[in-house]
Amino acid sequence: MKYIVCEKPQEFLIKEKPMPEPKEGEVLLKIRRIGVCGTDIHAFGGTQPYFEYPRILGHELAAEYIKGNAKGFEPGDKVTFIPYFSCGTCVACRNGLTNCCANIKVFGVHIDGGMAEYVTIPEQYLLHGQGLDYDELALVEPLAIAAHGVRRAAVKATDTVLVMGAGPIGLGLIQFAKIAGAKVIVMDINEYRLNFCKEALQADETINPLHDDVAAKLAELTNGDMANVVIDATGNQKVMNSAFNYISHGGRFVLVGLQKGELSFSHPDFHKRESTLMSSRNATIEDFEYVMKCLKEGKIDPKKYITHRADFEDMISEFGKWIDPKNNTIKAIIELN
């Protein structure tokens, strides 16, 4: 079978190896769709934490069930799976927080992932397609990341949410915050994405730091209250550090984006607001199920997300175009027949 490996930063290669055979407790899947995400882009660029090369990327996946002994699954079934393999015994796992397992192995990050024609995975992570098509199933994982971030923030209808970063995860954050009934303000430096958020996702307001004073504009939009909930989806250290100035009194700051450096903020300013700072990592089965429910009910339209496509063997030549801002990529999908 063929697979694509990131040999080192800035280098993808297409190679061949024998098709895997499932071991006891594993299933064999034929990959049908691969979503390209921020993690893949950061890995290609050499800026992804917890990463070693060479690595087969890919964890936003839709697949066809080929064989195995997973109960309730038949060959030919459309499936997806939770790509966060947890140990089951650490303190997080014992408390049901498998998304932040102390020994977690994320498919396509810590271990080789799904940019391949076939993969084997432990059957316990397999999810029924529930009537969704392959495009929709490839969006479940990134949307689950967003759903988990909004759930961590406990967003409610009376909140004003500032989403920083309008990439694919940011777009999901906007949608789930809107589903929760909140007012949503989006911050990004890409005017195309900001317009997309207002027109396609019904974001209430937008801020562009290239020509807006963010704190002043946010104060204007909130009558001086600032944002009850600030969620970072940029993974940018400077943006994260600045965001402590955007939190309302009694507000929450949730870090969905990830960067390698340190955060720095004024303790007195943070303390006087009784602010809450939290991270949001991966997602749980509850988030995956909620996303699939929202897709089935039409609360999220996958056609608004997928803007670029390529066949598996064309992916390497297309990848550079997808990450070029002038091409206005929202979500790129790799297709396999």
What CA dihedral angle connects 262, 265, 270 and 275, to 10 degrees? -30
Give the mean pLDDT of 140-155: 98
Mean pLDDT in residue range 25-44:
94
pLDDT tens for each residue of 305-331: 999 999 999 999 999 999 998 899 999
The pLDDT value recorded for residue 39 is 84
Q: If residue 198 lies in a helix (H) or strand (E), which one and from where to where? A: helix 191-201
Grade residue 150 by pLDDT with cuts at 50, 70 and 90.
very high
**Using 50, 70 and 90 to split pLDDT, how confident is the model at 62?**
very high
pLDDT at residue 220 tops 80: yes
Mean pLDDT of the chain: 96
Cβ pair 254, 229 in contact under 8 A: yes
Q: Which helix (H) or strand (E) holds 322?
A: helix 315-322
pLDDT for 110 beyond 80: yes
Q: Does residue 215 surpass a pLDDT of 80?
A: yes
Contact partners, residue 86, CB within 8 Å, separation at least 6:
92, 93, 98, 99, 101, 103, 104
Give the pLDDT mean for 102-118.
96
165 — pLDDT class (breaks 50, 70, 90): very high
Taking the whole predicted model, whether its pTM rises above 0.85 is answered as yes
**pLDDT, mean of residues 161-175:** 96
The pLDDT of 16-29, averaged and rounded, is: 97
> Rounded to the nearest 5°, which phi and psi values hold at 137?
-65, -30
Residue 193's φ and ψ, nearest 5 degrees, are -65, -40
Q: pLDDT at position 96, please?
A: 95
Instruction: Over range 252-279, report the average pLDDT.
Output: 95
| Per-residue pLDDT at 42 | 85
Q: Which of 139, 195, 199 is nearest to 172 (CA)?
A: 139
Question: Given pLDDT bands bounded at 50, 70 and 90, which one contains residue 259?
Answer: confident
- Of 37-46, 93-102, 251-260, give the lowest mean pLDDT range: 37-46
- What's the pLDDT at 50? 73
Q: Which of residues 168 and 137 earns the better pLDDT score?
A: 137
Question: Tell me, what amino acid is at 189?
Answer: I
| Mean pLDDT across 55-76 | 97
Check residue 282 and give its pLDDT. 97
Query: Whole-angstrom Cα distance, residue 259 to residue 240?
Result: 9
pLDDT at residue 51 tops 90: no
Average pLDDT over residues 85-104: 97
